[in-house]
C-alpha cells in the first residue's frame, strides 16, 4: 500500500515537472520554428520582388539604350527634314544606327513619307523626292561622295512609301516614344521603336523608326538567378516569352497567355506583394511573383522552387531540433534528480512511520533538509517519544495489576480445588457444576496473569533462561500427551515424526515446553474440527528446525503481518468464539530470541498453517 502511494506521488511530481518545463519548452520551440518559417516566407517574398524590380530595371535600361539613338535633336532651326544636307542626313543615319544597332532605321518626314533608310549592311536608300531636291541643290557628288567612301557605306538606292497611318509614326510625330509589341522575324524576337526628330526650337520635324533585335534581352534575362534554382522569364503583352533564364522549363517564343498567373499579370489584376502564390507552371511547387514593366507593357515573372527557397530553413530546423532534444534530455536528467530530492525525505519519513507502526519505538528519523520535511521529521520523533512514555506507563500498570492479581487468583485456585476435591466435606452435584464453571474461568484468569507477568518480565529483561543440552523429542512427546485430551475432543490426530537419531539442542526446558504448548495448543485451537497435525524436524545449517503443521483455518498474508506482536488477535467470524489473550506468540518469539533461535510461520487462509522454530544443535548424533 505504502509502496503504491509512493509510486503515485512520484508520478504526480513527474507530471507536474513535465507540465512546467517540457510543455513550455515544446511550445516555445514549435512557435519559434513557426516564426522562422513565417519570417522566411516574408523574406522570400521581399527578396523575390526586389529581384523582380531589379530585372525590370535592367530590361528598361536595355530598351532605353536601344531607343537612345532614335532621339534626335538637330541643332539648326530647319522646319523640315528635307532641308538637311545629304552629308548631314547620312551622318545622322550612321550615328543613330551605331548607337541603337537596329536591323534597319528609317527617317520619316512630317507627312509620313519614308525619307531615308539604313540597313544592317550600311546600304542607304533615299526617297526619290529628296534625291531630286539634293540634285537641284547640286549636293550629289563631291563632298557627299567622299563621305560615302570614308564611312564605308554600301549601295545607295531609292526607297518609296508613306507610313502616315502606322502607329510608330503616329506616336512619334505626336511627340511620344513608341515601343511596339514584339514580333518574330526568322524566329528572332524583334521590336519596332520610334521617336520624334526635333529641331533646336524643340519643334517636331519628323520621326526616326527602327526595327530592333531583342537577342540581347534574352541574354539579360538568361543571367538572372534567384537562390540556387529560381529563374526569371519575360513575356510581352500577348503572353509570348521574350526571354527566359530557364530555357528547359520556359521556352522562348512559347505562349503563356493561358497560364492563369501570367494572364492575370498582363491584365493588371495581379497585386504585387499580394502574398505567396504556389504555382505549377513547371509541375514543380514554386513560389511565383511577377511585375509589369509599364513603359513597354511587358511583364517579368520569377519562379522559385519551394524546396530551394526554404533550403536555408532546413539547417535552422535541424539545429533547433538538436537544441530541443539536448535541452529535453537535460530536463529529464534534472527532473529525475529533482524528483529524487523531493521523494527522498518522504521515503525516509514513510520508512520511519513503518518502523514505528511495527512497534520499534527506538527508531529515530534523521532528516537534515533544513526545510518543512526536517521539521516534520523532528515532530515525528517527538510523537514517538510520547508514545514510548505512554507504553512504559502502560507496561508498568499492567505489571503492577498482574502482580497484584496473582496472589488472589492463585489463592482462589487453591481453595477451589480443595472444595472440588471435597476436602471440606461433600459438595452437592448442582453446586459442583457451577463451581466447575467458576474454576475454568479462574483458570483463564490465572493463565492471563501468568502471560502478563511473563511479558512484563521479558520486556524488563528479567526473563530467566537457563540453557542446557536437551533432547527435543521427549519434550514434544510430553506436550503432545498433555494436550491429547484437547485434540481428542475435536477429533484431531497429532502425528509426530521423531528424528532418526537423538537430536539434542541448546535450550531452557521449561521455556521450550511453553513454546511447544503454545504452538501445538494454537494448532488444536484454530482447527475447528478433524484435521491432522503433523510435527517433524529438519536440520539446517547447524540448527534443528521444528515444523508444526495444522489443517485449520489458516491466515492471509495481511493478517500475518503482526502475528508475533503483543495482544495481537485476528478478528474474524471464525475466531470470535475462540478464547485467547493474543500474548502467546509474542512470548514464544521473546523466548526464541533469548535462546538464540527463531520462530516464523507460513499460512494460507482456509488451508492451514505451519509454525516453525529453530534451535542450535549441540550434538549431531
Chain residues in the site for ligand ADP (CB under 6 A) = 518, 522-523, 526, 550, 552-555, 563, 568-570, 575, 580-586, 609
- CB–CB of 90/151 below 8 Å? yes
φ and ψ of 125, to 5 deg: -130, 135
Of 224 and 583, which CB lies nearer to ligand ADP in the complex structure? Answer: 583
Of 413 and 569, which CB lies nearer to ligand ADP in the complex structure? Answer: 569
Shortest separation between residue 571's beta carbon and ligand ADP, angstroms: 8
The residue with its CB nearest to ligand ADP is 580
DSSP assignment, residue 18? I
| Cα 10 to Cα 23: distance, rounded to the nearest angstrom | 18
Of 233 and 586, which CB lies nearer to ligand ADP in the complex structure? Answer: 586
Of 299 and 522, which CB lies nearer to ligand ADP in the complex structure? Answer: 522
| Cα 430 to Cα 136: distance, rounded to the nearest angstrom | 184
Residue in the block written with cell 521444528: 546
Shortest separation between residue 597's beta carbon and ligand ADP, angstroms: 17
| Cα 599 to Cα 585: distance, rounded to the nearest angstrom | 9
- CB–CB of 373/345 below 8 Å? yes
Shortest separation between residue 493's beta carbon and ligand ADP, angstroms: 16
Cell triple for residue 330?
A: 537535460
Shortest separation between residue 579's beta carbon and ligand ADP, angstroms: 7
Of 289 and 555, which CB lies nearer to ligand ADP in the complex structure? Answer: 555
Cβ-Cβ contacts under 8 Å for 189 (sequence gap 6 or more): 182, 183, 213, 214, 215, 217, 218, 242, 252, 253
What is the DSSP code string of 503-514? -EEEE-HHHHHH
Of 206 and 552, which CB lies nearer to ligand ADP in the complex structure? Answer: 552
Of 246 and 609, which CB lies nearer to ligand ADP in the complex structure? Answer: 609
Bridge-based pairing of strands 231-235 and 241-244 is antiparallel
Shortest separation between residue 546's beta carbon and ligand ADP, angstroms: 14
- CB–CB of 211/180 below 8 Å? no
Residue in the block written with cell 538464540: 596
Is residue 188 helix, strand or coil? Answer: strand
| Cα 63 to Cα 24: distance, rounded to the nearest angstrom | 58
Task: Give how far the C-alpha of residue 351 lies from the chain's centroid of Cα atoms, to the nearest Å.
Answer: 35
Of 197 and 588, which CB lies nearer to ligand ADP in the complex structure? Answer: 588
Shortest separation between residue 449's beta carbon and ligand ADP, angstroms: 14
φ and ψ of 188, to 5 deg: -110, 135
Shortest separation between residue 390's beta carbon and ligand ADP, angstroms: 22
Of 183 and 459, which CB lies nearer to ligand ADP in the complex structure? Answer: 459
Shortest separation between residue 563's beta carbon and ligand ADP, angstroms: 6
Question: Which DSSP helix (H) or strand (E) runs through 234?
Answer: strand 231-235
- CB–CB of 45/273 below 8 Å? yes
Shortest separation between residue 585's beta carbon and ligand ADP, angstroms: 3
Is residue 360 helix, strand or coil? Answer: coil
Amino acid at each position: 500500500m505504502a509502496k503504491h502511494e509512493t509510486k503515485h506521488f512520484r508520478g504526480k511530481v513527474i507530471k507536474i515537472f513535465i507540465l512546467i518545463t517540457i510543455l513550455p519548452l515544446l511550445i516555445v520551440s514549435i512557435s519559434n520554428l513557426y516564426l522562422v518559417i513565417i519570417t522566411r516566407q516574408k523574406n522570400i517574398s521581399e527578396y523575390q520582388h526586389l529581384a523582380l524590380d531589379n530585372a525590370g530595371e535592367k530590361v528598361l535600361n536595355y530598351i532605353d539604350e536601344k531607343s537612345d539613338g532614335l532621339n534626335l535633336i538637330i541643332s539648326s532651326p530647319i522646319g523640315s527634314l528635307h532641308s538637311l544636307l545629304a552629308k548631314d542626313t547620312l551622318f545622322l543615319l550612321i550615328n543613330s544606327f551605331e548607337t541603337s544597332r537596329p536591323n534597319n532605321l528609317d527617317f520619316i518626314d512630317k507627312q509620313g513619307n519614308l525619307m531615308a533608310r539604313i540597313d544592317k549592311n550600311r546600304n542607304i536608300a533615299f526617297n526619290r523626292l529628296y534625291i531630286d531636291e539634293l540634285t537641284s541643290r547640286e549636293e550629289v557628288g563631291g563632298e557627299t561622295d567622299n563621305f560615302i567612301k570614308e564611312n564605308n557605306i554600301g549601295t545607295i538606292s531609292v526607297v518609296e512609301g508613306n507610313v502616315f497611318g502606322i502607329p510608330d509614326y503616329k506616336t512619334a510625330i505626336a511627340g511620344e516614344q513608341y515601343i511596339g509589341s514584339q514580333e518574330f522575324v526568322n524566329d528572332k524576337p524583334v521590336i519596332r521603336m520610334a521617336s520624334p526628330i526635333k529641331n533646336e526650337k524643340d519643334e517636331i520635324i519628323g520621326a526616326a523608326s527602327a526595327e530592333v533585335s531583342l537577342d540581347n534581352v534574352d541574354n539579360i534575362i538568361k543571367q538572372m538567378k534567384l537562390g540556387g534554382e529560381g529563374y526569371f522569364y519575360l513575356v510581352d503583352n500577348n503572353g509570348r516569352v521574350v526571354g527566359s533564364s530557364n530555357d528547359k522549363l520556359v521556352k522562348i517564343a512559347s505562349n503563356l497567355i493561358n497560364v492563369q498567373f501570367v494572364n492575370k499579370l498582363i491584365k493588371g489584376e495581379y497585386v504585387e506583394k499580394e502574398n505567396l502564390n504556389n504555382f505549377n507552371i513547371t509541375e514543380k511547387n514554386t513560389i511565383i511573383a511577377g511585375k509589369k514593366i509599364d513603359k513597354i507593357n511587358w511583364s517579368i515573372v520569377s519562379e522559385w522552387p519551394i524546396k530551394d527557397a526554404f533550403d536555408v530553413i532546413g539547417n535552422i530546423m535541424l539545429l533547433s531540433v538538436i537544441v530541443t532534444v539536448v535541452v529535453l534530455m537535460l530536463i529529464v536528467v534534472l527532473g529525475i534528480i529533482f524528483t529524487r530530492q523531493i521523494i527522498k525525505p518522504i521515503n525516509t519519513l514513510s520508512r520511519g512511520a513503518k518502523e514505528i507502526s511495527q512497534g520499534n519505538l527506538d527508531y529515530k528519523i534523521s532528516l537534515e533538509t533544513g526545510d518543512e520535511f526536517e521539521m516534520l521529521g523532528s515532530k515525528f520523533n517527538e510523537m514517538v517519544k510520547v508514545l514510548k512514555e505512554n507504553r512504559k506507563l502502560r507496561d508498568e500498570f499492567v505489571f503492577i495489576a498482574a502482580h497484584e492479581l496473582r496472589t488472589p487468583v492463585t489463592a482462589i485456585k487453591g481453595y477451589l480445588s480443595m472444595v472440588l476435591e471435597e476436602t471440606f466435606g461433600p459438595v452437592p452435584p448442582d453446586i459442583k457444576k457451577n463451581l466447575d464453571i467458576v474454576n475454568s474461568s479462574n483458570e483463564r484468569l490465572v493463565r492471563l496473569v501468568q502471560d502478563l507477568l511473563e511479558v512484563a518480565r521479558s520486556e524488563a529483561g528479567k526473563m530467566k533462561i537457563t540453557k542446557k543440552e536437551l533432547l527435543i523429542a521427549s519434550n514434544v512427546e510430553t506436550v503432545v500427551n498433555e494436550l491429547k485430551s484437547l485434540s481428542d475432543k475435536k477429533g484431531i490426530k497429532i502425528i509426530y515424526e521423531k528424528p532418526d537419531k537423538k537430536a539434542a539442542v541448546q535450550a531452557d526446558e521449561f521455556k521450550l515446553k511453553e513454546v511447544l504448548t503454545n504452538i501445538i495448543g494454537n494448532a488444536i485451537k484454530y482447527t475447528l474440527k478433524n484435521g491432522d497435525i503433523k510435527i517433524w524436524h529438519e536440520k539446517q545449517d547447524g540448527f534443528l528446525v521444528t515444523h508444526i503443521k495444522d489443517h485449520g483455518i489458516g491466515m492471509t498474508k495481511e493478517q500475518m503481518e503482526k502475528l508475533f506482536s503483543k495482544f495481537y488477535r485476528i478478528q474474524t467470524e471464525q475466531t470470535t468464539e475462540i478464547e485467547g489473550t493474543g500474548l502467546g506468540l509474542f512470548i514464544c518469539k521473546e523466548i526464541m530470541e533469548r535462546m538464540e533461535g527463531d520462530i516464523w510461520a507460513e499460512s494460507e487462509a482456509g488451508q492451514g498453517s505451519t509454525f516453525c522454530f529453530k534451535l542450535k544443535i549441540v550434538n549431531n548424533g
